[in-house]
Amino acid sequence: MEFFLVQLLNGISYGLLLFMLSSGLTLVFSLMGVLNFAHASFYMLGAYFAYQISTAIGFYPALVVAPLLVGAIGMLVERFGLRTVHRYGHVAELLFTFGLAYLIEEAVHLVWGRAAVEYRIPPSLEGPLFMVFTSQYPIYRGFMMLVSMSMLVSIWLVLTRTRIGLVIQAALTHPQTVEALGHNVPRVFMLVFGGGAALAGLAGVIGGNAFVTEPGMAAAVGPIIFVVVVVGGMGSLAGAFVASLLIGCLQTFSVGLDWKFAGLFARFGWSVTPDTPFATLWNITLAQAAPVLPYLLMVLILIFRPRGLLGTRDG
Amino acid sequence: MASLRFQPFNPARWLLWGATAVLFLVAPLVFRESFALTMLTQMGAFIIFALSYNMLLGQGGMLSFGHAVYSGLGAYFSVHVLNMIGKGTIVFPVMLLPLVGGLAGLAFGIIFGYVTTKKAGTTFAMISLGIGELVHACVLMFPGFFGGEGGVSTNRVVGQPFLGITFGPAIQVYYLVAFWCFVCMIAMFALTQTPLGRMANAVRDNPERAEFVGYDTQKVRFLQLVLAGFFAGVSGALSCINFEIVTDENVSAIRSGGVLLATFIGGTGFFFGPILGSVVFIFFVVALSGFTQAWLLYLGLFFLAMVLYAPGGIASLIMMQLPVIRARRLRALALPYLLALAAGLVAFAGLVGVVEMVYRISDASLDTQMSLFGIGFDAKSARPWIAFSLVLAAGLAALGFAARHVGERWGAIQNQIQGKQP
């Protein structure tokens, strides 16, 4: 029970972090049709900027400044890069963001070196928040959840209750009509791209010190958020939310479990010996298989429900 | 590009293929250093890989982020066969090992292709990325077969020598790679001329119409991917013979990204594009990485510049000149081209200066006292920063000016050519 509760809380906080990343990706994708390959790189930039700012003036200013900086970079990328390649089609846009991801990783290598930097949780957020039976639940995990939840609520409010949010929603489905009504759709694109980047940056600020801030962090989380978007259904925010929590829990739970097929077989009276065919496969524990599980889930979803959990588009 | 025409004998084509064969034969005689030979061997293997990738991206319109899966798994299977030959468990000529890799690539193409080719476009790209990550994670999960982090090493000098060929000396490996590269080039070119190759183009350009003609687009994509998997496997086996080790890097996203970069830089619209791209890419990887730690940054910048300004790659830049040459107007463009080139070199020099200085300062283990282009200076002082920034800015401004000039000339000449032959 204790294990279950702790892992569930960890899973939800990781899932919310994933959703902060995948929501920006989904919004940009459904609005512009651009799959932003560099999205995880913005996450990494957020973490590095926060590290730099927090060593200079502290963590709380970094919490605000770093996402804004990343958002500004995102807007510049949209204005001077993506808009230029837009006329060559979606593949060119995808390739552009792919090249950008390369470039950002190399720039990070160049500026901050190849090793992980010491981006720490601020002392005021260290320590236990409450006890789950016998184990402590850290304050920082709670803080992460608080930040991501308040961020999500404010996005939802912006998208549904404000004028610009309504324009964005309209531009999702009928960009021409919105343009005909006199709204500047390219500027909406720029804002959304910058906003998505800023969200990724914020995720980097609170994720960078909870996990580790190193040049490989973009490549580690990038494929996972793509899996989230595919599993949830391309272009569906609600789907991305469900899939983020699902994959967050899947990853945290599987890391702590040493179930294996051999154990399952033993219940039915079959024992696995080294001579059994595929013996290594049956002896892999769930914890060992953890890195593979999201991708397996994606393959299964694609076979049995190609449009994703809550997706509406086919294809 | 090629329209349907009846041409039983195409002298230009024979000339080109003949020249390619001669080039393969004499290249190691011209570049005699062992360093050059390693590079040529790697280029040969990579050309097959990039051409097989272009069967997806260029001919089938499938942007794959996981093509290294097929070459890497092909390499793993061939390394085990090679080790079995070494132990004497089986008798198999090393020369035909690429077939083993190819068949492994083909088999995995059938398995993974079933899932990936269900979708086209952006979704295909994401799924191929997921499959790539899946395989990479699995490779580390089963150390029994894949050797874990250390990989599987082997020895290529096994079995009975055939006509004195043992594959001990590097030159013999080069000719093995060259032979397979040439054969695969011809095979892949021939494939573009088959009905399948044509239908792949149709599915790329207009899947809806291809379906109305009566073709199953998923099946066309699937067949194309399976065949591409075969050739990728061949290249994997060749790199396994060349390096005598196969690690998880062979199936990694880095390698998948590399082949994408090489193919795109070369140009996806023409058959020979990926060949040029592989030559440039391997040059970047092997030669430039010896000079500077920032080579990936330069490669990334080069790639981004190509995406932004020359999305057809090097091949399309070359092919664009053909009508101009035919109309004998290249001389009018020579001066603007030279100007643009000079401006580009100035801008590049400024960029190199800035990047190398950043690198010197960020890496604490390095001395900030450095020398570049024969000039010695301290990266911590302000003067070189100002100088290189000025050079970069001036170069970029000149490049913009020169590019506009080239554009004007180009437009005028195009109008003239079209005016002459309506």
DSSP notation for B99-168: HHHHHHHHHHHHHHHHHHTTS-HHHHHHHHHHHHHHHHHHHHH-HHHH-GGG-EE--S--S--BTTB-S-
Helices (H), B194-326: 195-205, 207-213, 217-243, 253-266, 273-282, 289-291, 295-309, 313-326
If pLDDT is split at 50, 70 and 90, which confidence band does B3 have? low
Copy the structure tokens of residue B185: 């080039």
Residue B378 bridge partners (DSSP): B369
Q: Among residues B42, B308, B253, which one has the least CA distance to residue B129? A: B253
Residue A34 lies in a domain: yes
If pLDDT is split at 50, 70 and 90, which confidence band does B305 have? confident
Predicted local confidence at residue B1, as pLDDT? 45
Q: Which range, of A20-29, B207-216, B284-293, averages the lowest pLDDT?
A: B284-293
Judgement on whether residues B269 and B332 belong to the same structural domain of the protein: no
Mean per-residue pLDDT, B163-184? 84
Using alpha carbons, list the distances in angstroms from residue B189 to B18, B184, B272. 14, 8, 9
Is this complex's ipTM strictly greater than 0.90?
no
Mean per-residue pLDDT, A296-300? 86
A129 vs A206, residue with greater confidence:
A206
Judgement on whether residues B166 and B245 belong to the same structural domain of the protein: yes
Helices (H), A83-138: 83-85, 90-112
Q: pLDDT digit string (tens) for B273-301?
A: 899 999 989 988 888 877 777 788 888 88
Residue with tokens 């789950």: A132
Does the predicted TM-score (pTM) go above 0.90? no
Cross-chain Cβ contact B304/A106 below 8 Å: no
**pLDDT above 50: residue A15:** yes
Mean per-residue pLDDT, B157-170? 72
If pLDDT is split at 50, 70 and 90, which confidence band does B420 have? low
Residue B176 lies in a domain: yes
A181 residue type, one letter: L
Q: pLDDT digit string (tens) for B35-74?
A: 888 888 999 999 999 999 999 998 888 889 889 999 999 9
Q: Among residues A126, A144, A25, A13, which one has the least CA distance to residue B122? A: A25
Judgement on whether residues B214 and B152 belong to the same structural domain of the protein: yes
Judgement on whether residues B57 and B148 belong to the same structural domain of the protein: yes
Of B65, B260, B300, the CB nearest to A106: B300
**pLDDT above 70: residue B403:** yes
Q: Among residues B78, B44, B51, B95, which one has the least CA distance to residue B237? A: B78
Residue A253 lies in a domain: no
Residue B7 lies in a domain: no
Q: Among residues A236, A71, A49, which one has the least CA distance to residue A151? A: A71
Cross-chain Cβ contact A81/B308 below 8 Å: yes
**pLDDT above 70: residue B6:** no
A36 interaction partners in chain B (CB closer than 8 Å): none
Judgement on whether residues B332 and B294 belong to the same structural domain of the protein: no
Mean per-residue pLDDT, A48-64? 88
Cross-chain Cβ contact B307/A92 below 8 Å: yes
Residue with tokens 């099946």: B219
Asked if the C-beta of B126 comes within 8 angstroms of chain A's C-beta atoms, the answer is yes
Asked if the C-beta of B119 comes within 8 angstroms of chain A's C-beta atoms, the answer is yes
Q: pLDDT digit string (tens) for B112-128?
A: 998 888 877 778 888 88
Cross-chain Cβ contact B125/A100 below 8 Å: no
Judgement on whether residues B94 and B153 belong to the same structural domain of the protein: yes
Mean per-residue pLDDT, A131-146? 80
Judgement on whether residues B80 and B20 belong to the same structural domain of the protein: yes
Copy the structure tokens of residue B364: 């604490």
Q: Which structural domain, as residue segments, surrounds residue B296?
A: 14-306
Query: How close A209 comes to chain B (CA, Å)?
Result: 21
Judgement on whether residues B198 and B343 belong to the same structural domain of the protein: no
Q: Which CATH number goes with the domain that contains B50?
A: 1.10.3470
B91 vs A192, residue with greater confidence:
A192
Residue B22 lies in a domain: yes
Phi first, then psi, for residue B372 (nearest 5°) are -140, 135
Sequence-distant (6+) residues with CB within 8 A of B417 are: B323, B324, B327, B329
CB A232 within 8 A of CB A55: no
Mean per-residue pLDDT, A67-84? 91
Asked if the C-beta of B138 comes within 8 angstroms of chain A's C-beta atoms, the answer is yes
Sequence-distant (6+) residues with CB within 8 A of B335 are: none
Copy the structure tokens of residue A224: 């996972």
Q: Which structural domain, as residue segments, surrounds residue A27?
A: 2-216
Question: Rounded to 10 degrees, what is the CA torsion of B40, B42, B47, B49?
Answer: 170
Predicted local confidence at residue B9, as pLDDT? 67
Cross-chain Cβ contact B131/A303 below 8 Å: no
Burial, B46: exposed, middle or buried (Cβ in 10 Å; 0-12, 13-18, 19+)? buried
Q: What total of structural domains would you count in chain B?
A: 2
Residue B18 lies in a domain: yes
Q: What total of structural domains would you count in chain A?
A: 1
Judgement on whether residues B283 and B166 belong to the same structural domain of the protein: yes
Query: How close A119 comes to chain B (CA, Å)?
Result: 17
CB A292 within 8 A of CB A215: no
Of B133, B303, B358, the CB nearest to A99: B303
Residue A173 lies in a domain: yes
CA distance B115 to A65: 43
Q: Among residues B237, B185, B207, B281, which one has the least CA distance to residue B75? A: B237
Sign of the CA dihedral with A182 first, then A183, A185, and A186 last? positive
A135 vs B388, residue with greater confidence:
B388
Copy the structure tokens of residue B101: 């890799």
Residue A162 lies in a domain: yes
DSSP 8-state secondary structure symbol assigned to residue A162: S
Q: Which range, of A305-314, B1-10, B332-341, averages the lowest pLDDT?
A: B1-10
Neighbouring C-beta atoms of residue B219, cutoff 10 Å: 13
Mean per-residue pLDDT, A261-289? 72
B138 interaction partners in chain A (CB closer than 8 Å): 292
Query: How close B119 comes to chain A (CA, Å)?
Result: 6
